[in-house]
Structure 1
Amino acid sequence: MKKLNADVVVVGGGMGGVAAALAALRAGRSVILTEQYEWLGGQLTSQAVPMDEHTWVEQFGVTASYRELRDGIRGYYRDNYPLNAQARAERHLNPGAGLVSRLCAEPRVAVSVIDSMLAPFTGSTKLTRINGVIPVSATVDDTIVRSVTVRDVTTAEETELTAPYILDATELGDLLPLTGAEYVTGTESRADTGEPSAPEHAAPDNVQAFSWCFVVDHRDGEDHTIDKPRDYDYWSTYQPDFWGAPLVSLTAPHPRTLEIVTRAFTPTIDDDPFARIADQRAGGGDDELWIFRRILSTKMFEPGHLDSDVVMVNWPMIDYLDGNLIDASDDDAAKHRDASRQLSLAMFYWLQTEAPRPDGGKGWPGLRLRGDITGTADGLAQAPYIRESRRIISEYRVVEDDLSIAVRGHGRPATFPDTVGVGMYRIDLHPSTGGDNYIDVASAPFEIPLGAMIPVRLDNLLPAGKNVGTTHITNGAFRLHPVEWNIGESAGWLAAFCLDREVDPRTVRNTPELLEEFQTLLTRQGVELHWPDVTGY
């Protein structure tokens, strides 16, 4: 078996994994970074989901390196695309003018920027990148994880990775069962967490739906209708009890009110992309699905550059509710991934053949899958969009009472003495595999407590993504792009700090002098630890 060693091993190259690797590298440490898919960036790239962010992202509330990523994406468009004069003059350029985010852009551009951020360390040999692998085993000595073995998904070749610190940045917290770490899945009971939105009984298999996203454009007058998907008859009649219509339709519960509403979908819409700014305080922005997650708007570019807007489909109608990937057998997980892909293809085929048009007709045959944008042959994303992971049992668990404006009685920021970053998003849970409807809780801006990143027993395993010590409920506020990045970045700096001081993370958290020194380091590196006086939405 091939063996590799570094100061820090980061397993999983999503948002948290990239940020963790970058932090440890900038601290002067050697890093091995692994990723299952071709692209680094996770939910932003291989999963194809534009950045979900809070209202104040252009002013504060993210780390300096995350802002570097955002600025890099905008700079890439300014340097390489024929933006028109109005778009080029936009300080906060939004290439897609989508309403889900202030920065809706192509996944490939984000990949290029992430690669450029890591490039200096690849050239210096400090960084070893291994793509196309998954973790399959680990060796543990008492409270220390000694190694992780990864397997190539194509050749089955295995490589043993060793380091003083192992960071789990996988989408599902895959290292937790491999290392014997204590963790929880699904919904905790109300008696356990005290959360008003928690159910009476725990349900470990009840997790938020995952989705297989895809990207489309529209070629008016052309016919790009795909073959009828294999499972179309099943999905076209599938209807959850609380949905109010078939899942494959334009009708679904409103995430915040649960009212059954029908969205518009108009590929020929003639909107003004400069007229509205994405603001989650004003609503989800999904009344018109063509605009909602648009990643390229024709009116941002010189005439003739684009024949059509380009739109990323991550809508409620492709949320897969029939099964769970966490702790499933390989066969069951493969079955659910395939079924999710079939659901997305069924939705696309329905849009091409049956979706209502403003002229009274049905279907938009000019819709075209854009696999060139997702980096796939079939037009779907490379990877499923994961909303919920295994979660470590940690020294401190973030619960609904920490974040909920209703419970706290105010929207002032939630503070923790061991803060290692900040985040903000509504507690936004999609329908779940246990049959739950949306759960939406107005939440305050929050600090990220270091205690939520410290496993109760293992000393050198750190979470670097959605696997931190939250609950099923509070995961809904922690799972989005900038918070995952901040968690990963803080984990990377923490690993390097512990190596420099020859201490473990638990000691850092519980020794006031060390905690203050670490927080000072984070601040100097552009990690914001506190919020200004703002109110949640």
Structure 2
Amino acid sequence: MQRRRLAAFISLVLASFTPPLIPFSVLSAPPKTPNQTVECEILVTGAGLAGVATAYEGLLAGRTVCMTEITDWMGGQISTQGTSALDERRTQRLQLFFSRGYLELRKRIADKYNGNLNPGDCWVSDSCFLPHDGHEILYDMLQDAAKKGRGQLKWFPATVVKQLEISRAGSQQAIQGAIAIQHRPAAGVPPLNTLPLSQTIEDSYRYENSARLNKEILRFVPLARREARHKWYVVDATETGELIALADVPYRLGIDARSYLEPSASSGTSDPYCTQGFTYTFAMEATEDPIGHGIPPFYSQHSAYYSYELPRLASFPLVFTYRRIWSPKDGEPMSFGGINFEAPVPDDISMQNWTWGNDYRPGTAVDNLIYTRAQLQASGQLLPGNWLGGLRTESLRKAEEHAIGYFYWLVTGTTDSQLGDGVKQPQPNNRYLSGLDSPMGTVHGLSKYPYMREGRRIIGRPSWGQPEGFTVWEIDISRRNYNDDYYRQTLSPQMYRRLKIALAGLETINAIASTKPPEQIARRTRSTIFPDSVGIGHYAIDFHPCMTKSPPELPGNTEREGERQGAGEAYPFQIPLRAMIPQKIENLLVAGKSIATSHIASAAYRVHSFEWSVGAAAGTTAAFSLEKAIAPYQLVDDLPRREPLLEQLQYRLQQNNNPTAFPDTSIFNLDWDDWR
């Protein structure tokens, strides 16, 4: 039965993968009169954790919040992307030092499972749970926030933004409206989530009805009753930075050029094609009896990639329990590679998210997932009415195959690309979970949307010390001392000395005047403290590097050389408001992974609690700006001089239990090692 179901799904995946031969400009028609006009005070695009947190704070502030999402679930990482294992640092978790909404989320997860925050008994996190429950919990949280704050939530699932209406006012521009498309199944066709994303994404962005989807055209506009110039705010909380591409504001993709600010960069020049790998997750269930599994027809194209990666991880029970999301019975105690866990037992459910497994890691101009600005121009997607999501559909399709192949390798494979022969053993007592009632909520069993680790990243407005545009860089957060030979040999003497001076902290003036060798200049023991901090985060700089050659699964392919050089521990860090404010557009805020960080810094600014914190900051800032009738950039445009309104915003965040700094982490406190 399982073999037939997997074979049927494979046929479904392969059925309509014919690359489009018609230019984008022909495929996209201009919109007709919208079917519905919707008024908002805050328009949030993307219902991942950052988007939900934005809506949560906006609703508690009594605002009318519209929220769109390409899938039909809220939650992003913890639901639609399937990574329902909260990434948290131990010291932050022990003190429960998180945003108020994130604490509420953790409490409701525990309440859902009768007081158990970790119903999966996973070992990667203190909380692993079922993705569909993540959506339900967040939906209830927003309903309760609307009641408590007397706000109004207008929720638009299965909806994508197609066009922005942008007007110019002096040197600034503003979004006056947004055209979106909401889709639903056409009459007589299977429900949403039957087909994988690669087969539906371009259709969902076209105005015309299709054989699969019926469309409704929506126009989002500010509340008519507001008389102020700043009538509403739009927040890009999408997973890849769609609105910043549509608005055509300055942004970066991929690797930043090596500099004293980004000394561990793997390249002396920027490379927009090498972003972190993305992952279609899936769920598998341990069974009492072995199950036969049919070989996917594309398996041979991907089989040479899969691996347990490291000897200390080369254990199937270890990998299964790593992100086990449901475990109704206790298993026998086990230990492998210094990690203790309970062995899998029948009915346990594991979510798979593995670097040398279902990660898909393109990194060249012919297979990169997120189109660059030049690629968008060449494809016509930046022309009015031609936007199709800005992703390479073929890479989505290959990633879907890659994930299915990884499951087949887990249950039948006997080779390991990194560890050689004799390591991998078949594990037939497992089944692939699929169906609308499965943990991922899809007929095909893959997550509704891939887990995205990196998207387009804005370049903030020019600021003191950063005249070309504000960015949070590697040296703003890394714990590395940079005294090893790699940096002395890779960086020029001038660049190396400038790096050490930039890390001197309170001794900067003495360092500039000093004749000491650079490696003798004392390094500050903290991250950069930003005067405009509106949130917090703490996580290691964690890389899933792109691969060197195309396609990523090519036998013998390697990770891009040097990409892991910047990986390592980070100090607890802050979220500066300047990192959330793009250039040119005065009423657009950015939340989620598209804030102004470098390639290396973004590897830490991407996990669950950070997304909530930056979303809470975006929602609070939007509500505050509505109240004060200002644009967000006016809160920071006089820095480093005092900004009284910024101080009021920060006070409001802190009073609402949305922290903007970690305890005892001032420039004078040298005990930051307490935060590990």
Deviations 1:476-517 (A, max 9, x none): 010111101111110011011000011111112246110110
Corresponding position of 1:7: 41
Contact 1:14–1:169 under 8 Å retained in 2: yes
1:229-270 CA distance string (max 9 Å, x none)? 231011012xxxxxxxxx2132x2xxxxxxx53623334xxx
Alpha-carbon distance change, 300 to 361 in structure 1, aligned in 2, over 3 angstroms = closer
Amino acid at match of 1:178: L
For 1:136 and 1:344, the matched residues in 2 are separated by 29
Deviates more, 1:188-197 or 1:311-320: 188-197
Residues 177, 332 of structure 1: alpha-carbon distance in 2 compared, 3 angstrom cutoff: closer
Which residue among 220, 224, 233 is the counterpart of 2:300? 233
Q: Deviations over 1:50-71 (max 9, x none)?
A: 2111112241331011010011
Match of 2:411 among 339, 349, 352: 352
**Counterpart contact for 2:65–2:151, Cα < 8 Å:** no
Please name the residue that 1:218 is paired with: 286
In structure 2, the CA distance between the partners of 1:192 and 1:325, relative to structure 1 (3 Å rule), is farther
Separation in 2, partners of 1:488, 1:310? 30
The one-letter code of the counterpart of 2:156 is I
**Structure 1, residues 404-455: CA drift from partner, whole Å, max 9, x if none?**
1124535435421111011101111211155525351221001111111111
Q: Distance in 2 between matches of 1:51 and 1:224?
A: 33
* One-letter amino acid of the counterpart of residue 324, structure 1: N
Offset at residue 5 of structure 1 (A): 1.3
Looking at structure 2, the residues matched to 211 and 41 of structure 1 have their Cα atoms a distance apart, in angstroms, of: 16
**Quick check: 1:325 aligned with 2:369?**
yes
Alpha-carbon deviations, 1:97-118, whole Å to 9, x = none? 2122111111122112101101
1:165 equivalenced with 2:165 (yes/no): no
> What residue is the counterpart of 2:531 in the other structure?
417
* 1:222 alignment partner, SS class: coil
Specify the alignment match of 1:444 in structure 2.
571
Q: Is residue 63–residue 151 contact of structure 2 (8 Å, CA) maintained in 1?
A: no
Change (3 A) 1:26 1:122: closer
Task: Report the counterpart of residue 65 of structure 1 in structure 2.
Answer: 101
In 2: Cα distance, 1:59 partner to 1:414 partner: 22
User: In the aligned structure 1, how far is the partner of 2:609 from the partner of 2:620?
Assistant: 16
Whether the aligned pair in 2 keeps the contact of 1:454 and 1:505 (CA below 8 Å) is yes
Q: Counterparts of 1:219 and 1:194 in 2: how far apart (Å)?
A: 48
Determine whether 1:28 maps to 2:62.
yes
CA 69–361 in structure 1, closer or farther in 2 if over 3 Å, else same: closer
Residue type at the aligned position of 1:524: Q
What letter is aligned with 1:195? Answer: P
- State yes or no: 1:529 paired with 2:627: no
Are the aligned partners of 1:324 and 1:433 in contact in 2 as well (CA < 8 Å)?
no
Q: Which amino acid aligns with 2:411?
A: Q
Quick one: distance in 2 between partners of 1:466 and 1:373? 25
Give the match's secondary structure for 2:140: helix
* Cα pair 2:60 2:146 within 8 Å, conserved: no
The code of the aligned residue for 2:458 comes to I
What is the identity, as a one-letter code, of the residue corresponding to 1:454? Answer: I
- Name the SS for the 1:57 alignment partner: helix
Aligned partner of 1:133 in structure 2 is 159
Say which is worse superposed, 36-45 or 122-131, in terms of deviation.
122-131
CA contact (8 A) 2:59 2:151 kept: no
- What is the identity, as a one-letter code, of the residue corresponding to 2:477? L
1:118 to 142, 151, 159: 142
Would you say the 8 A contact 2:257–2:265 is kept in 1? no
Partner of 1:385: 451
Q: Look up the equivalent residue of 1:325 and give its one-letter code.
A: L
- 1:75 corresponds in structure 2 to 111
Q: Equivalent residues in 2 for 1:32-111 (5 A)?
A: 32-49=66-83, 50-55=85-90, 56-78=92-114, 93-111=117-135
Q: What TM-score do you get using the length of structure 1 for normalisation?
A: 0.85
Checking the alignment, whether the CA contact within 8 Å between 1:170 and 1:465 is kept in structure 2 is yes
Task: Give 2:11's aligned residue.
Answer: none
2:543 matched to which residue of 1?
A: 429
- Deviation per CA, 1:105-159, whole angstroms, max 9, x where unpaired? 1112211210110124677781110011112111111211112211232323321
Gaps of 5+ in 2: 1-33, 183-203, 205-212, 223-231, 332-344, 380-387, 417-421, 462-469, 482-502, 504-522, 549-558, 665-671
Residues 215-234 of structure 1: per-residue CA shift (max 9 Å, x gap):
11110313152x32231011
2:316 is equivalent to residue 266 of structure 1:
yes
Q: Secondary structure at the match of 2:241?
A: coil
Q: Distance in 2 between matches of 1:514 and 1:361?
A: 60
CA RMSD of aligned residues (A): 2.4
Counterpart residue number, 1:474: 601
Change (3 A) 1:524 1:487: same
Matched to 2:530, the amino acid is: F
2:264 counterpart of 1:196:
yes
Instruction: Give me the TM-score of the superposition, normalised by structure 2.
Output: 0.68
Further displaced range: 514-523 or 447-456: 447-456
Q: CA deviation at 1:532?
A: 2.0
| Paired residues, number | 482
Q: Is the 8 A contact 1:249 1:355 kept in 2?
A: no
SS at match of 1:190: coil
Distance 1:76 1:58, change over 3 A: farther
Matched, 1:406 2:480: yes
Cα distance in structure 1, aligned partners of 2:582 and 2:260 = 18
In structure 2, distance between residues paired with 1:478 and 1:214: 24
Q: Is the 8 A contact 1:412 1:444 kept in 2?
A: yes
Distance, in Å, in 2 between the alignment partners of 1:471 and 1:370 is 37
Q: Does 1:182 align with 2:232?
A: no
Look up the match of 1:507: 634
Moved more, 478-487 or 324-333: 324-333
The question of 1:340 aligning with 2:399 is answered yes
Whether the aligned pair in 2 keeps the contact of 1:356 and 1:363 (CA below 8 Å) is: no
Tell me how far 1:188 sits from its aligned partner: 1.3
2:134 counterpart SS class: helix
* 1:139–1:179 contact (8 Å) kept in structure 2: no
Cα offsets for 1:176-199 (capped at 9, x unmatched): 121122211111111484433352
Which amino acid is 1:366 matched to?
N
Q: Pick the structure with greater CA Rg.
A: 2
CA contact (8 A) 2:62 2:151 kept: no
- C-alpha separation in 2, matches of 1:29 and 1:387: 30
Equivalent residue in structure 1 for 2:349, among 301, 310, 321: 310
Distance 1:458 1:27 in 2: 24
Deviates more, 1:489-498 or 1:215-224: 215-224
* Structure 1 pair 192–33 and aligned structure 2 pair: CA distance change class (3 A): farther
Provide the C-alpha distance between the structure 2 equivalents of 1:339 and 1:54, rounded to a whole number of angstroms.
33
Q: What is the distance in 2 between the residues matched to 1:110 and 1:318?
A: 22
Contact 1:224 1:367 in 2 (8 A): no
| CA-to-aligned-CA distance 1:333-352 (integer Å, 9 cap, x gap) | 21111100101111111112
